Amino acid sequence: GCVMAGSGAADAEALCAPGAGGLALLGLAPNAPTCPHGPALLFVKTSQGKEEGRRFYACSACRDRKDCNFFQWEDEKVSKSRLAAREEYNRTHQPSHTHRQNMERYKNFVLLPLAKRRFCQECQQLLLPEEWEKHSNHQLLCEISTAQLQSPSQLLYPLENKKTNAQYLFADRSCQFLLDLIIDLGFRRVLSVGTPRLHEMIQSKASKEEDFRVRSLLLDIDFRYSQFYTEDEFCHYNMFNHYFFAGEAARETCRKFLCQDSGERVIMVTDPPFGGLVEALASSFKRLMALWKDTEKEDAISQEMPMFWIFPYFFESRILEFFPSFTMMDYQVDYDNHALYKHGKTGRRQSPVRIFTNLTPRMIVLPAEEGYRFCAICQRYVSSGNQHCEICNSCTSKDGRQWKHCFLCKKCVKPSWFHCNNCNCCALPTHTCEKAAAGCFVCGQAGHKRSTCPSLSHS
């Protein structure tokens, strides 16, 4: 999951809202300056009760200045020499090989006998014999099999610096479930945005099974994948600013892929870094939907490209703000290399990650053997602990446990919460009332955190 560099944050909920940390995202400006990650995004500093601060540009993909320290005030006059230095910096911070060169290398690599197939773990690249010398004191993997070449996500190191590359990969169980679901729903093309595990599962099946009809195109910021996939299978892409690194040609590859030849239905599956700014992602996803719409000739009924957006449940209100047609499913998505988001050895650590989709909820059949069942009233599949509340008239649990109804709050709350008369809302028994009395630091009202403050100006 989140298999893509992006503004990963240690505290995802703190970045939930544009007002977090007194910063609001204004989005993509027409003539934005660029850093090695493409056009920078425009932000504005905000402080409570004061007028808007100064606007500035910062890297779209990295929230941590150590990873990309690009910064420029919007009204700043940048000298010619500084512009030239910046262009030079951007140029030298591009990958050493182009995608096309990587494909040539791959063709040569595959022709080598097993004994000569080596992969440098330090440089994260496939090596041809004439390059061995240069990497002689590096950690190498030898005898790279065809199976390994078909599972690059297992060959490559996950980039686990959370701030820039929140690179967590779907557990096989979740990946298989997603693929089965996509096939059962009748989709034949998958736009895999930051989901390399799903992409490689599709590619691998397509190469082994003759009657396997599903095709995938991977859009990802991790350029290492260009060593394994052709230009029709992988586009180097930043999902925070909708930037195709290879320019118009790659954008056209994507547009063509979305063109549904002979009625092949297409679905987009995306798994962004959880610290990513939701409005930046939503803006890019809307642009991908618009590309799809351009290619949609006769089918005017379907308004939006079908989509699975995989994200933690506590972002539900933010996602619905940008995509009102979406519904959150109860299915818990697991990751391989994430300590919190996978099956525990003893029982299950609940993963907070869910599937948000614009498809009709009752079509998303969840596995009974994992305890999901159909609620006839809600017309959707829910987890076993999610009991239908007669008063709310819906299955209200978000985290898999059975929630309870609070008559004073007029809604269901987590089982561990109790109504606090000081704060006039439900909270953990251990909470401190002063903090709640002070309330949200954006608007000063009690009952919510700044990350869900309704008074935030959303650009």
What's the CA gap between 251 and 185, in Å, rounded?
27
User: Mind listing the pLDDT tens digit for each residue in 278-304?
Assistant: 999 999 999 999 998 876 655 555 578
Find the mean pLDDT for residues 386-404.
80
Closest C-alpha to 214, from 193, 196, 188: 188
Q: Is 7's pLDDT higher than 60? A: no
Phi and psi torsions of 353, nearest 5°: -90, 135
Nearest to 198 by CA among 180, 221, 222, 224: 180
| 458 residue type, one letter | H
Q: Are residues 111 and 87 in the same domain?
A: no
Most confident residue range from 181-190, 379-388, 435-444: 181-190
How large a percentage of the chain has pLDDT more than 70? 81
Same domain membership, residue 295 and residue 182: yes
pTM of structure = 0.83
246 shares a domain with 269: yes
Residues 140 and 260 in one domain: no
122 assigned to some structural domain = yes
Q: Could you tell me if 76 and 21 are in contact, meaning their C-beta atoms sit under 8 angstroms apart?
A: no
Give the Cα-Cα-Cα angle 254, 255, 261 (nearest 5 degrees).
Answer: 105
pLDDT confidence tier of residue 441, bands split at 50, 70 and 90: low
Contacts of 436 (CB under 8 A, 6+ apart): 420, 422, 423, 425, 427, 446, 447
The CA distance from 313 to 333, in Å, is 11
CB burial of 184-196 (b: ≥16 within 10 Å; e: otherwise) equals eeebbbbbbbbbb
Question: Is-contact 306 268, C-beta < 8 A?
Answer: yes
Looking at per-residue pLDDT, the higher value among 10 and 144 belongs to 144
Identify whether residues 273 and 197 lie together within a single domain. yes
- The answer, yes or no, to whether residue 355 has pLDDT greater than 70, is yes
Last residue of one domain, picked from the residues 354, 384, 414: 384
Residues constituting the chain? 459
Does residue 429 sit within a domain?
no
* Domain boundaries, position 41: 20-93
Q: Are residues 105 and 177 in the same domain?
A: no
Q: Which residue has the higher pLDDT, 49 or 206?
A: 206
- Whether pLDDT at 19 is above 70: no
Provide the mean pLDDT of the chain.
83
End-of-domain residue from the set 384, 405, 433? 384
Is the pLDDT at 371 greater than 60, yes or no? yes
Residue type, 296: E
Q: Could you give the number of structural domains in the chain?
A: 3
* Amino acid at residue number 340: L
Give the confidence band of 439 by pLDDT, cuts at 50, 70, 90. Answer: low
Domain final position from 384, 412, 447: 384
Identify the pLDDT of residue 450.
59
Residues 78 and 225 reside in one and the same domain? no
DSSP 122-143: TTTEEE-GGGTGGGTTS-EEES
Q: Is the pLDDT of residue 320 over 90?
A: yes
Pair (314, 330) in one structural domain: yes
Tokens found for residue 98? 């182009």
Is residue 322 within 8 Å of residue 278, measured between CB atoms?
yes
Q: Torsion angle of alpha carbons 133, 138, 144, 149, nearest 10°?
A: -110
Considering the domain boundaries, does residue 417 fall inside one?
no
How far is it, in rounded angstroms, from Cα 352 to Cα 333? 8
The answer to the question of residue 337 being in a domain is: yes
- How confident is the model at residue 50, as a pLDDT? 66
The 3-class secondary structure across 384-433, one letter per residue, is: CCCCEECCCCEECCCCCCCCEEECCCCEEECCCCEEECCCCEEECCCCCH
Contact 329, 380 (CB under 8 A): yes
Indicate which CATH number applies to the domain containing 335.
Answer: 3.40.50
The pLDDT assigned to 183 comes to 95
Please determine, for residue 442, whether its predicted confidence score (pLDDT) is greater than 70. no
Lowest mean pLDDT among 86-90, 186-190, 207-211, 222-226: 207-211
16 has pLDDT over 70: no
Per DSSP, the three-state class of 118 is strand
Q: What is the dihedral of CA 432, 437, 441, 443, to 10 degrees?
A: 150
Q: What value does the mean pLDDT take over residues 119-146?
A: 92
pLDDT of residue 145: 92
191 part of a folded domain: yes
378 and 252 in a single domain? The answer is: yes
Residue 164: the pLDDT is 44
438 lies in some domain: no
Q: Are residues 119 and 186 in the same domain?
A: no
pLDDT of residue 48: 65
Q: Are 74 and 218 in a shared domain?
A: no
Res 3 pLDDT > 60:
no
What pLDDT, on a 0 to 100 scale, did the predictor assign at position 117? 96
Is residue 393 predicted with pLDDT exceeding 90? Answer: no
Query: Which pLDDT does position 194 carry in this prediction?
Result: 94
Residue 304 contacts residue 289 (beta carbons within 8 Å): yes
On whether residue 450 sits in a domain, the answer given is no
The letter for the amino acid at 453 is C
Contacts of 131 (CB under 8 A, 6+ apart): none
Given the structure tokens 């300590």, which residue do they identify?
339
pLDDT in tens, 60-82: 988 777 888 899 999 999 999 99
Looking at per-residue pLDDT, the higher value among 324 and 380 belongs to 324
3-state DSSP assignment of residue 296: coil
Q: What is the distance between the alpha carbons of residues 454 and 431, in angstroms, rounded to a whole number?
A: 22
Task: Please give the residue that has the higher pLDDT: either 410 or 262.
Answer: 410
**Across 51-65, 66-80, 236-250, 432-446, which has the greatest mean pLDDT?**
236-250
Same domain, residue pair 367 and 239: yes
pLDDT band at 129 (very low <50, low <70, confident <90, very high): very high
Would residue 251 count as lying in a domain? Answer: yes
